[in-house]
Structure 1
């Protein structure tokens, strides 16, 4: 059984009376949301889809934690932004000047990518929720229960608590009304009036009535369970950092039960996603990230969804942007074709394909690997590419071709320049002279096949090409074929590899091939 279906069925068993299943995820907009963060929302999305397939009503919420403090300036942001450290993300100017705030810039960037994935989610902007006063009664309650909260937090720490620390503990962040930073110290809290006296490093001091405040936020391990209660969340995943024995989820689960008298949601820990060849986990502040939007410039949304859905959440994997792109496309094409023909027996893969299907727009496309092999040979001209595919017996509209051609162009030019191969202009006599007599005989035989290939289909042409270097021993024949094809690629493309030979012949043309292969 697919992991998302198993989670969904478990939720239905545990909450048989639920009319609406609320599933949640959330991210702090500290910078561009990368594909590691993307696993947060995609895990919830697949569970929501599985619940819907089982006939259940769902509410899928995504919290933007944009009332969190700005902690660190990412590498791609001007260092002058250090002056905003300690302010909420929602109150910092957009470093690019195109949105109303720092938070809005990165929220909009990610939300646009989610629309491409067809992910329909209800966004909750926590800065608006906190400033609206929605949580104020819960904040006041947490302040009154602060010593109990302190005791719970200490259960998960090795240090010995002190009475002094306990008395000075407050489970909130308070932003200064003057400088809007969290460099504040709570000097007193009067339970009877709900008033806080505070001072700030900027020199400001003030008195805040909790029930009227718009500058107070609960700290994370109290904020999280408070929102579980407020939204009646029954499922939310979390990263490995939240999933440790003393991590946020286990702490918040106890606070949810003992302070807010509410049952914590079911939880799935997810592993981090890596970039192939990079060390360490992705981090917006470190700058070693790939965003979902950038990944969409290389992969169709269906393939990205499939890559995530086929792995259990707790399985780590790397996304490569080298030849892995060809392998990922080929795998998806192979599974999709087998499924359409009723030949796919792996039920988990079938379910993953169902979760990844977004509609007919990106279905029945040309093969990515085939197009990637010939697109640079026609100088990335989409009309010539369409013509070559037609000659090879594959008819596709320009719109269908463009879905992949734009991605191929970006992939080759931004990530794999070595694949920007081109057709030789003159013969490589020096390389030809280095060949053995047997190899030259193969080449002459191959030229004879090409000369008579005008009306051949790809299957029969490929058979004739294979037979050029025939040997009764299959292993020897296969090695001969590999050597011959490598010779052809070297003489025609000055490369060790290239598209399948029938397609190469259709691309270069019979005369063009013979001009480079016949000596």
Structure 2
């Protein structure tokens, strides 16, 4: 059974009377959301899809933690933004000047990508929730239980607790009303008056009534369990860094039980994702990231989801942007064809397709096939359409472009090694090195090419295979391999290329013969 369906069934068994299954994920918009963060969302998404497939109502919420403090300026952001460190993301200007805030820029960038994936999610912006006063009662409750919260936190640490530290512990961030930074210190909390006295390093000081405040935020390990309780969350995944014995989940699990009198949601720990050839965890601040938007310029959305679905959350994997792209496309195309014909024969793979929101009835050209043709025709999508028609494949221009645009972006930006180029003249020096029988094969091939216009792709390929026929099957295979290598060398100066019938249809008779016919 696929891991998402197993998780969904466990949730149903644990909550037999649950009307709506609330599943959550969330990210802080500290910069562009990368595909490592995307795993947070897609893990929840697959469980939601499985619950729906099993007949359950769901609510999929995604929290933007945009009331978190700005901690570090990412490498791709102007370093002048250091002046905003300590302010909430939602109150910092957009470094690119196109959205209302720093947070909004990166939120909208990611939300647009999720829309392309067909992931329907309810976004919750924590800056709005906190400043609206929605959480004020729970903030007050946490402040009154601050010493017990301190004891819970210290139970997960190796250092000794102290009564003085305990008396001066406040589980909140307080943004200064004047400078809007969190460089504040709580001097006193009056439980009877329910107000806080604070002082800021900017010189401002004052008193704020908790129930009227719009500048107080709970610290992470208290904020997270508080929101579990408020939203009645039953499932939420978390990264490996939150999943250790003393990590955020176990701490928050205890806080939600003892402070907020609520049960922690079921939890799945997910491993990190890497970029093939690049060691270390992806980080927005380090700049070693690939965003979902960038990945969508290479892969169709359903293929990205399919790749993610095939790995259990606790399995790490790398995204390859080299030859892996063709392999991933070809694998998906092969598996989908079997799924569509009901011959897949693998339960996990079958469930992976069931989890996809896409109808999967769109017809697009093979990525590998398009990759072999497009560089030879200067990435002209109209010529690609003509070549595909010649080999008996008809597609709408819009569907061709879904693949051709991705092939072009991949080759030009990520894997130029795959870019094939036509030779401009006959390679006489190489031809003279061929054996007599190989030259005869080449002459016979040119005769086939002369008639290729009237042949279908399959018929043409049969005629090409027959050029170097031998009664011995093994010898025939070796002959064919040798002939193909000769053609690729003479036409592309390469050891490989597209299927010969497609290559010939792409070049046309005149161009093909100009590089392969040495009879004159």
Separation in 1, partners of 2:155, 2:476: 70
**Under a length normalisation based on structure 2, what TM-score does the superposition of the two structures give?**
0.97
Maintained 8 Å contact 2:229/2:260 = yes
**1:486 Cα offset (Å):** 1.9
**1:474 Cα offset (Å):** 4.3
Structure 2 partner of 1:446: 445
1:10-409 superposed matches below 5 A: 10-359=10-359, 363-409=362-408
**1:464 Cα offset (Å):** 3.0
Separation in 2, partners of 1:281, 1:435: 51
Deviations 1:220-252 (A, max 9, x none): 000000000000000000011111111100110
1:4 partner SS: helix
Deviations 1:98-127 (A, max 9, x none): 001000000000011111111111100000
**1:419 Cα offset (Å):** 2.7
Structure 1 partner of 2:492: 493
Deviations 1:359-402 (A, max 9, x none): 35x62211111011101111111111111111111111111111
**1:357 Cα offset (Å):** 4.2
Structure 2 partner of 1:434: 433
Separation in 1, partners of 2:75, 2:110: 19
Maintained 8 Å contact 1:303/1:356 = no
**1:476 Cα offset (Å):** 4.5
**Under a length normalisation based on structure 1, what TM-score does the superposition of the two structures give?**
0.97
**1:417 Cα offset (Å):** 1.9
Distance 1:479 1:184, change over 3 A: farther
RMSD: 1.4
Separation in 1, partners of 2:438, 2:212: 87
Separation in 2, partners of 1:473, 1:73: 68
1:454 partner SS: helix
Maintained 8 Å contact 1:188/1:197 = yes
**1:475 Cα offset (Å):** 4.4
**1:478 Cα offset (Å):** 3.2
**Number of residue pairs the alignment of both structures matches:** 518
Deviations 1:459-505 (A, max 9, x none): 33323323433455544443433332122112112222211000001
Maintained 8 Å contact 2:363/2:395 = no
**1:441 Cα offset (Å):** 3.2
Maintained 8 Å contact 1:423/1:508 = no
Separation in 2, partners of 1:518, 1:10: 67
Separation in 2, partners of 1:472, 1:28: 67
2:345 partner SS: coil
Separation in 1, partners of 2:378, 2:246: 57
2:431 partner SS: helix
1:51 partner SS: helix
Separation in 1, partners of 2:474, 2:79: 61
Separation in 2, partners of 1:329, 1:363: 15
Separation in 2, partners of 1:212, 1:12: 40
**1:267 Cα offset (Å):** 0.5
Separation in 2, partners of 1:341, 1:441: 43
Stretch deviating more after TM superposition (432-441 or 59-68) = 432-441
Question: What runs of 5+ residues in structure 1 fail to find an aligned partner?
Answer: none
Stretch deviating more after TM superposition (345-354 or 26-35) = 345-354
Distance 1:421 1:157, change over 3 A: same
Separation in 1, partners of 2:375, 2:357: 30
Separation in 2, partners of 1:297, 1:422: 23
**1:207 Cα offset (Å):** 1.1
**1:13 Cα offset (Å):** 0.6
Maintained 8 Å contact 1:283/1:289 = yes
**1:303 Cα offset (Å):** 0.6
Deviations 1:16-40 (A, max 9, x none): 1111110000000000001110111
**1:343 Cα offset (Å):** 1.1
